[in-house]
Amino acid sequence: MIALAFFATLINYLDRQALSVAAPVLRLQFHLSNEGYARILFAFMLAYTIMNGVSGLVIDRLGTRTGYALFVAWWSLCAMLHAFARGALSLGIFRFLLGIGESGNWPAAVKVVAEWFPIEERSIASGIFNSGSSAGAILAPPIIVFILLKWGWRSTFVAVGCLGFVWLAAWLRWYRVPVRTTQEVALPPNVPVWQVLRSRFVWSFTLSKIFMDPVWYFYTFWFPEYLHHSRHFDMASIGRYAWIPFFVAGLGSAGGGFIAKGLLNFGMSVTAARKSAVTIAALMMTMAIPAVLTESSALSIAFVSIAMAGYTAALANMLAMPADVFPAEAVASVYGIASMGSGFGGMIFMLLTGWLVDRYSYVPVFLLFGLIPLVCAFVLWTLMGPLEGHSHPGAQTFQTQG
């Protein structure tokens, strides 16, 4: 079951990375500045942000099997539509439509984890499925550069879009909901939205994601551009080397889960283990700062790799947090609502990135993304309450602001 979520996440990132890898060619063809490229990324983030608040509710209402299938089918079709782009406007519209569909992946995958895994295994399971994002980003540069150089950029979007429909057939064939206990069957099917929104956990978790997830969006959407413009890599070199940080990030996904499990086995509470693991990961992400200051391209890629591994280690633990507090029936809604924070943060920081690069350089951008994860850790320790006490499936009382 977790393998299906892993492959959905992998395909999600292949679709997402197709633009960033092909960006040097598309920017030249469509005459896009850094700010123009940032606006197209903003269109994706705008749809992604709005739908984050909706996708989880839809998935909780329809169920994991139907909800996940709906969103994967949508984003796969929209990825293929990119092949019909004729300029910045149409590319931005197709990017917006893609964002609507891709918003459903993480709420659905988090729900899979909540349905299938006990509390002590959730961070590892979350790390496994989320490593699909790294796997997709690893495969994207060589695959997309190969297709682009051989058949043109339009073919790349058609090819990656088709993969989603292959996954869809496997999902509908094999996914099933685990057998529930008598206690779980007796539960009401949905937690009221007002109760979710009043939760202290939800608003603090949302705030923390504003300062964490935009870091990954930066590396996902801008790293090939950084290699091209600041490190003077051609398309072939991007295909050879841009995958390396994402490979290391995949190791971080598993590592973050084992850090939390080790701390739990050592006797730490769930709250202390999760937050400590995120803090360790945030410190790793400060490696973005020397990455932009070194003259060596090899060292720069190495430092970025450590920073990206830090992000995925942090996310493995943050993905597990909603299921620590809420029952499985509500976790997709909780994660979707909280992910609106990452969307708003991504929108703001994407526009800021384009503005800074056009007017200054990548130096202030890397400084920014090296430091804001520490803000995320600060929010978790100071504003988020304890995770314990509400982790059992029958929990009906959640942390409120009072």
List pLDDT tens digits, range 268-303: 888 899 999 999 999 999 999 999 999 999 999 999
Q: Cβ–Cβ contacts within 10 Å for residue 330, how many?
A: 27
The answer to whether residue 6 sits within a structural domain is: yes
Question: What pLDDT is recorded for position 9?
Answer: 93
Q: Whole-angstrom Cα distance, residue 285 to residue 294? A: 16
Angle between helices 105-116 and 331-359 (to 10 degrees): 140
Q: Whole-angstrom Cα distance, residue 264 to residue 266? A: 5
What is the phi/psi pair of residue 85, to 5°? -65, 140
What is the phi/psi pair of residue 131, to 5°? -65, -15
**Looking at the predicted structure, is the pLDDT value of residue 188 above 60?**
no
- Provide the pLDDT confidence category of residue 394 given band limits of 50, 70 and 90: very low
* DSSP code for 384: S
> Which CATH number characterizes residue 63's domain?
1.20.1250.20
Which residue do the tokens 């490229």 mark? 37
What is the phi/psi pair of residue 361, to 5°? -170, -170
The answer to whether residue 91 sits within a structural domain is: yes
- Provide the pLDDT confidence category of residue 196 given band limits of 50, 70 and 90: low
Domain count along the chain = 1
- Tens digits of per-residue pLDDT, 229-271? 899 888 888 888 888 998 898 888 778 878 888 888 888 888 8
The answer to whether residue 398 sits within a structural domain is: no
The answer to whether residue 401 sits within a structural domain is: no
Q: For residue 323, what are the domain limits? A: 2-173+194-382
- Tens digits of per-residue pLDDT, 64-84? 999 999 999 999 999 999 999
Do 336 and 107 touch, CB atoms closer than 8 A? yes
The answer to whether residue 44 sits within a structural domain is: yes
The answer to whether residue 182 sits within a structural domain is: no
Contacts of 42 (CB under 8 A, 6+ apart): 347, 350, 351
**Looking at the predicted structure, is the pLDDT value of residue 400 above 80?**
no
The answer to whether residue 263 sits within a structural domain is: yes
The answer to whether residue 350 sits within a structural domain is: yes
